Structure 1
Amino acid sequence: MTTEYFTELSRLLADRGMPDHDVAATVADLTGYLAESGSPDAREEFGAPETFAERLTRGHDGERPEAGAETWKWTSDIYTDRLLLNRYGAEGWEVETIDFLGRFVCHRPSRDALRWEYRRETSHGAKERDALLAELEPDGWEVCGRWLHLTYLKRPLAADAGPAAGLTTTPAAPARHVFFSAKYRSLLAVFAVSVVLLALVLGFDVIELDRPAVRFGLLVGAAGGALLGWYGVKRDLAQGADSA
């Protein structure tokens, strides 16, 4: 079923003008994402191939945004995403989707921009996501993107603030596109060190390690660092931790 989905998606992407090498790269990224997420059904994860192909190829088929509208794509980590989403949502940026690279794809109209608020929830599988939506939709929340087990939702501040949710002036679009916190960079450093240690243990001839005790110590260090990093991220997701 998954193979048939990606075959159909490839055909639709090509029909909408996406170059062959971009089609292959896109399908490869989506296949890897699906394997990592643990979802068995591509249709359940991405929706109908026709609709998904249209989302992925906006701009390839000549569609044009409204005159003066702005588009901004950016990415962050789990320690800064909600803080930044709400900061820039207050400046009128509406998240339309999360692309296959994990970037928030934002849109802001040239006139009558609204302030937006966002929330992030963790859900596993379609049943949990359906239950989550059933709980939140009556309060005006709608899904604006998914990444692995994370579901991002948005609603206009007008749901609470009324007309005050509108913007009279809009700040310039941020020049940055990547926002990583110090905590996330530290975790990346721990992961990099763990990979280096593991490479040494596996004998990539970086240095001579003939003593079994040294190899064992490096193996324990590599495995311990990876496990600690994984546990820390999992705990922070469960607790909804944000970086100050």
Structure 2
Amino acid sequence: MTTEYFTELGGLLRSGGMPEREAAATVADLRSYLAESGSADPHEEFGPAEEFAARLTGHDPEERPAAAAETWKWTADIYTDRILLDEYGEQGWEVEGIDRFGRFVCRRDPDTAMRWEYRRETAHGATERDRTAAALAPDGWEPCGRWLFMTYFKRPASASAGPAAALESAPAAPSRQVFFSAKYRALLVVFAASVVLLVLSTGFGVVDLNDPAFYWPMLAAAAVGGGAGAGWYGVKRDVNRGAESR
């Protein structure tokens, strides 16, 4: 039985990629170890030859290869960003930054995924941002991105939930990348309309600025442009108030 075991083991080591001389030396060392240990059964000492050979050659079937880290980029407006950050933070997505297109750049390692918590703060200028970051740092918050006058912070949920922050399984990465609320889409429509009217009123020779017949269209375009400005003011007010909407 012993001879058969080591003969099989040697063959498995060679088929698993171990060089001939190394395989022979390994089998000889294991024979000596077995004799010195006083054990007569290599199965009891080393386990099944196939599994033992797999471990010796680095092909252990019980060791799964590490899953590749996932990346996902998505964008949202100020009415949905915090809702979605909370939702996807619960799914283990860590925000690593915000790119030049205003997208949250997220990463998740399926094998070691943990929950993340997020918060958004408003700060105008570097001094105010630094002051805000310093005030939040003792509670584990660190900056993870900035867009316009908003700064986003993250911390692992273990800071508040302890071991419960670890995820046993991570949901599949979302296929969607753009999340705009109905209110934000309406603001975009108003802004686009204002741009079109202003262009028609003043550009491409469509309107003669000296013709009194076009005063009213120009005034209408100016009113719409003013509405867009008022809309931007409303957005800033909503950010400060923390308004949310899906």
Q: TM-score, normalised by structure 2?
A: 0.68
Amino acid corresponding to residue 145 of structure 1 in structure 2: G
CA contact (8 A) 2:95 2:106 kept: yes
| Residues 92, 167 of structure 1: 8 Å contact kept | yes
Shift of 1:197: 1.4
- Letter aligned with residue 214 of structure 1: W
Q: How far apart are 1:219 and its partner, in Å?
A: 3.3
Report what 1:234 is aligned to.
236
Work out the CA distance in 2 between the residues paired with 1:99 and 1:220: 33
Q: Structure 1 runs of 4+ off > 3 angstroms? A: 203-210
Query: Which letter does structure 2 place at the counterpart of 1:75?
Result: T
One-letter code aligned to 2:79: Y
Letter of the structure 2 residue corresponding to residue 142 of structure 1: E
Contact in 1 for aligned 2:89/2:117 (Cα 8 Å): yes
Maintained 8 Å contact 1:122/1:149: yes
Residue 200 (structure 1) shift: 2.1
- The residue number in structure 2 matching 1:103 is 103
Aligned to 1:184: 184
Is the Cα contact below 8 Å between 2:158 and 2:164 reproduced in 1? yes
Map of 1:38 onto structure 2? none
Which residue does 1:80 correspond to in 2? Answer: 80
Q: CA deviation at 1:83?
A: 0.5
| Residues 207, 214 of structure 2: 8 Å contact kept | no
Q: Name the SS for the 1:105 alignment partner.
A: strand
Q: CA deviation at 1:158?
A: 0.8
Q: What secondary structure, in the 3-state scheme, does the structure 2 residue paired with 1:221 have? A: helix
Q: In 1, distance between residues paired with 2:181 and 2:207?
A: 33
Conserved 8 A contact 2:191-2:225: no
Structure showing greater Rg: 2
Alignment of 1:41-80 (within 5 A): 67-80=67-80
Instruction: Kindly state the Cα deviation for residue 229 of structure 1 after the two structures are TM-superposed.
Output: 1.3
Instruction: Give per-residue Cα distances to partners, 1:124-172, cap 9 Å, x unaligned.
Output: 1121111101110000100111112111000111111111111011100
> 3-state SS of the aligned residue for 1:222?
helix
Q: Note the 1:92-171 alignment, pairs <5 A.
A: 92-171=92-171
1: CA distance between counterparts of 2:138 and 2:208? Answer: 63
Which SS does the other structure have where 1:204 is aligned? coil
Matched residues, number? 179
Q: Secondary structure at the match of 2:176?
A: coil
2: CA distance between counterparts of 1:143 and 1:227?
30
User: Where does 1:208-227 land on structure 2 (aligned, <5 Å)?
Assistant: 210=211, 211-227=213-229
The alignment's TM-score, normalised by the length of structure 1, stands at 0.69
SS in 1 for 2:151: strand
Q: Measure, in 1, the Cα distance between the counterparts of 2:141 and 2:113.
A: 18
C-alpha separation between the residues in 2 aligned to 1:68 and 1:117? 23
Structure 1: which 5+ runs fail to align? Answer: 1-65
% identical equivalent positions: 63
Q: Which amino acid aligns with 2:99?
A: D
RMSD: 1.8
